[in-house]
Amino acid sequence: MVKDILKANEEARPNGKEIQALKEHFPACFAADGSFDIARFKEYLADKVNVTNEGYELRFLGKNYARLLASVDTTTVIVPDEEHNAKPENANSENIYISGDNLDGLKHLLKSYARKVKCIYIDPPYNTGSDGFVYNDSFNFTAEELEEKLSIDESQAERILKLTKRGSASHSAWLMYIYPRLLLARDLLNKDGVIFISIDDNEFGNLQLLCNDVFGEENFVAQLTWEKKKKGSYLAHDITNIKEYILVYAKNKSLFAGLIGEVNTEEETYPCVNASNGRDIRIIPAGIESKYREENFVMKKGEMISDTTMNLVLHSDLVIQNGKLAQDLVIEGNWRYGQDAMKEYALNREIYITRDLYLRRIVHEPRYKGLKDLLLRIGDSEESGYTYDIDFENLQNNGWGSNEDADEEQRILFGEQSLMSYPKPVLLIMKLIASLQMDDFIVCDFFSGSATTSEAVMHLNVKGKNIKHIVIQLPEDVDKKIISATGDDKKNAQRLKGFLDSCEREHTLDYLGIERIIRAAKKIREEYPDTEADLGFRHFTLKEPSAKTLDKLETFEPEDGLMIQNTVLDDFGVPTVLATWLVRDGYGFTAPVETVDFAGYTGYSMDKHLYLIAPELSDEAIGAIVERCETDGAFNPENVVLFGYSFLWTEMEALKANLARLKATEKNLHIHFDIRY
């Protein structure tokens, strides 16, 4: 387990994964001594790839160090929150909340969820100088180790080490922080997956270059602009920025379906709604999606629709019959041609609006099927069924929500004006996720904050989707933040501490997210008592072994006496060992593991694995394991995994000898023994 990982990390290199891929696909390019023949490699590529000596890339101090951090495995273990996870609403949930460093969390996730995540949304620190970002890490590399692992000189190694320990907020420090996380996130995405990254002006340029490096420039999808404020501050000394950005990259743009949803595959011709250009027939080219493709269509009063030049709020029902407006349409909005002119067009039934230019106006009402009522979901509306009292008119003016709306969402759930600095509104995340036009997939957010993404997923699921959310949040110490923060950040931290005290929670930021999910789920259940949506979640904490435990691991020698002398299992606990192994073996955090009794000894069965963790494996227990293998047709463990610190050498040998004879039985069962330390 941990000892095995520590040993493997000693051999880790920044390009280890890439070298392994080259060895797998181009073995002829490697000599016996392990050297790589670049000339021969170029010959393989010559007729298919234009090989050039020129290049353009983002370089920064510590880039190879960041790649090294992505290459070494995590030594943290996964500690399940047994009391929380056993509650009825959580016991069978497929949603996951991880308390821990997201670098460690991503490494654990990759062991079970690599290429399985459809959508990632993250809102990382912006490195504005006032958002509290400073770079520090817990990796204890020496200068000599970095010289050898990164092939750099002593002065470069010392500069990197100073950067990792002094709490820097430089551009290089921020890039070194975000780079390994993006590398790992890329491997989580499935072949048609997408990542949304919130950012502002301060690091936008660097982030886009970094994403080009990680995901490939050819996989850039869009730069979305989000209006975070309705207006600037009158106290500002210079230009007030009321916008932020969302960078969108696909894992493979050629496979990515886009953010609109289903489109026509052939040219379509159908009657239009007396378009103002006088045409009676509308021709829609392949790949373009029309909102009013149906010959008969109804949109209710109060909903918002948009064009590239206008936003319209319906003050009467919009009814289309036989391809034409069936009644007068009363609308209001911001017009390119003026209110009077647009009213005249409406009365003359000369309006035609399609949804084919959605991405060009991302800050306004999106044009994807199934989300026409999203604005109503957050507003105080009889149609929505929600009791949220966010200002509906303001939401109509900014159809993706704002920082003010996010503050209001917190006030409603927590009874406080704001507990989190610079939160994102639920509506924003809902619309990003829903733009993928899928009903069943995994969303991951590894900068979870106050768990906005989790709440957004729950709102979508209650409307019929089946989206699973996996979120990670660093358990940041709120008491320390109160000491170091200033201004509004300090006030927010003080309010957060008081809130956590009122909930009898520890003073760490992850418990704010946990409370939000619980409270939002309760509110949704009250409004939708018949919903069958998964509104629970499993909670796990990532922990580094203590120095005392590490000493035990380093000095351990397999026992061959009559009893186990070490107490390593006591330090970890059986649930932690089992949870860590299940994730490592690809079964995930929510695996339905079976507890099996073998003559009084408890084992754990999951698919092709049998886990034996506790000590005192008696002869009777070994006999019961063999008998179960022989007589139970559904019990076919191909891997028996043992916690090496729990067993005497004689016990392990007896188990091996007894199970080896199963090869000669009718089941012809070949069992691999995996002893982990």
Q: What is the mean pLDDT of the chain?
A: 79
**Torsion sign across C-alpha atoms 106, 110, 111, 116:** positive
pLDDT band at residue 327 under the 50/70/90 scheme: low
pLDDT reading at 263 higher than 80: no
Cα-Cα end-to-end distance for the chain: 5
Amino acid identity, position 53:
N
The pTM (predicted TM-score) of the whole model is: 0.77
Mean pLDDT value of segment 567-590 = 96
Q: Choose the weakest-confidence range: 192-196, 303-307, 567-571.
A: 303-307
What DSSP assignment string belongs to 510-561?
HHHHHHHHHHHHHHHHHH-TT-------EEEEEEPPPHHHHHHHHH-----S
Note the pLDDT tens digit of each residue in 190-228.
999 999 999 999 899 999 999 999 999 999 998 888 888
pLDDT reading at 605 higher than 70: yes
**Torsion sign across C-alpha atoms 550, 551, 552, 557:** positive
Q: Which residue has the higher pLDDT, 488 or 471?
A: 471
pLDDT at position 619: 94
pLDDT reading at 365 higher than 70: no
Note the pLDDT tens digit of each residue in 230-262.
666 555 566 777 889 999 999 999 888 777 533
Q: Which residue has the higher pLDDT, 574 or 434?
A: 574
Q: Which residue has the higher pLDDT, 31 or 672?
A: 672
pLDDT at position 617: 93
- By CB atoms closer than 10 A (0-12, 13-18, 19+), residue 458 is buried
Q: Which residue has the higher pLDDT, 639 or 149?
A: 639
pLDDT band at residue 58 under the 50/70/90 scheme: confident
The percentage of residues in the chain with a pLDDT greater than 70, rounded to a whole number, is 72
Mean pLDDT value of segment 468-490 = 91
pLDDT at position 271: 40
pLDDT reading at 361 higher than 80: no
The percentage of residues in the chain with a pLDDT greater than 90, rounded to a whole number, is 44
pLDDT at position 85: 98
pLDDT at position 364: 27
pLDDT band at residue 518 under the 50/70/90 scheme: very high
Q: Choose the weakest-confidence range: 63-67, 331-335, 555-559.
A: 331-335
Strand partners, 643: 676
* CB-based contact 639:608 (threshold 8 Å): yes
pLDDT at position 541: 98
pLDDT at position 149: 84
Q: Which residue has the higher pLDDT, 601 or 55?
A: 601
Q: Choose the weakest-confidence range: 468-472, 497-501, 630-634.
A: 630-634
Residues in the chain: 677
Mean pLDDT value of segment 331-351 = 47
Note the pLDDT tens digit of each residue in 17-28.
777 777 767 776
CA dist 405 and 394 (Å) reads 9
pLDDT reading at 362 higher than 60: no
Q: Note the helical H segments in 278-350.
A: 339-347
Domain boundaries in the chain? 13-55, 268-354, 547-676
pLDDT at position 409: 84
Look at residue 434 and give its three-state secondary structure: helix
